[in-house]
Amino acid sequence: MASPALDPRFRAALMAKRRGEIQEARRILEEMLGEDPEHADALEVLGMMVSEDGELDLAIELTSRLVSLQPESIMAHANLSRFYMLKGDKETAEEWQAKARVLGWKEEVGRKASATAGSGMETVSPDMVEKQEKAVEERPDDAMARMALASSYRKLGMPVKAVSHLQHALTIDDTLSNVYLALGQSLEEANMKEDAAEVYRRGVPIADKKGDFMPRNQMASKLTQLEKDNRS
């Protein structure tokens, strides 16, 4: 397989495209793919070019070949979504867009995990988060599964993602003291202080009634601090 970064013909095609010489650029890319059907960058650029000319079936064929070569390519998945939307196939477009979002999520988790590695912070592997996400998909009304996933999101510095799962967990069981505490903490981390205070106000009496003194005391302390900050 040729190396696109070093291929002078690929650079020539890009230059021709920038000059507005679209047919010349297309001729070069098609010639390259005739010799090397797995030239990923040529597939991507030619797919985009023919889509602009309204040749959507050809754009889909070229980009599908790219996905086969690079199954983790977010751009390829997003392009397929756009091409199908232009064809009027909204359902298929949404399927490809969902796949692009999943890939983007996995990339973000991997980036966050790499950033925390060696920092002394507790790390979470992308594989673990993927398993936890799958567990939530399989058991959407499992509060413990949502709590575990939310905990991983928080460790990765993604509190907003944690919030929705913790909120859902409370719709399953609104007596879970630890969920109120984790939800309040996540909202604080997301800089949603007023919402966090309201969660603590709801959670403190529930924890008190159940005898869950550790989460009760933590929520009461955090609520006091938030109310103090709000007055100052």
Give the ranges where the chain is alpha helix by DSSP (H). Answer: 8-18, 22-35, 40-52, 56-69, 74-87, 90-116, 126-138, 143-155, 159-172, 177-189, 193-210, 213-231
What integer pLDDT is reported at residue 71 of this predicted model? 92
| Contacting residues for 199 by C-beta, under 8 A, at least 6 apart | 180, 183, 184, 187
All domains of the chain in start order, with CATH: 4-107 (1.25.40.10), 126-231 (1.25.40.10)
The C-alpha angle with vertex 132 and arms to 194 and 102, in degrees rounded to 5, equals: 85
Nearest to 114 by CA among 157, 167, 61, 59: 157
What integer pLDDT is reported at residue 3 of this predicted model? 42
| Contacting residues for 10 by C-beta, under 8 A, at least 6 apart | 4, 28, 29, 32, 39, 41, 42
Q: Retrieve residue 217's tokens.
A: 């005391």
Q: What is the DSSP string of 153-186?
A: HHHTT-HHHHHHHHHHHHHH-TT-HHHHHHHHHH
Exposure string of 65-85, with b = 16+ CB inside 10 Å and e = fewer, is bbbeeeeebbebbbbbbbbbb
CA atoms within 13 A on the CB side of 221: 8
Q: How far apart are the first and last CA of the chain?
A: 65
Is the Cα dihedral 179, 181, 186, 187 positive or negative?
A: positive
Q: Retrieve residue 30's tokens.
A: 């098609």
What integer pLDDT is reported at residue 101 of this predicted model? 79
What integer pLDDT is reported at residue 7 of this predicted model? 83
Per residue of the chain (232 residues), what is the pLDDT tens digit? 444 445 899 999 999 999 999 999 999 999 999 999 999 999 999 999 999 999 999 999 999 999 999 998 999 999 999 999 999 999 899 889 878 877 887 777 777 666 655 555 456 777 788 889 899 999 999 999 999 999 988 887 789 889 999 999 999 999 999 999 999 999 999 999 999 999 999 999 999 999 999 999 999 999 999 999 988 7
Is the Cα dihedral 173, 174, 179, 182 positive or negative?
A: positive
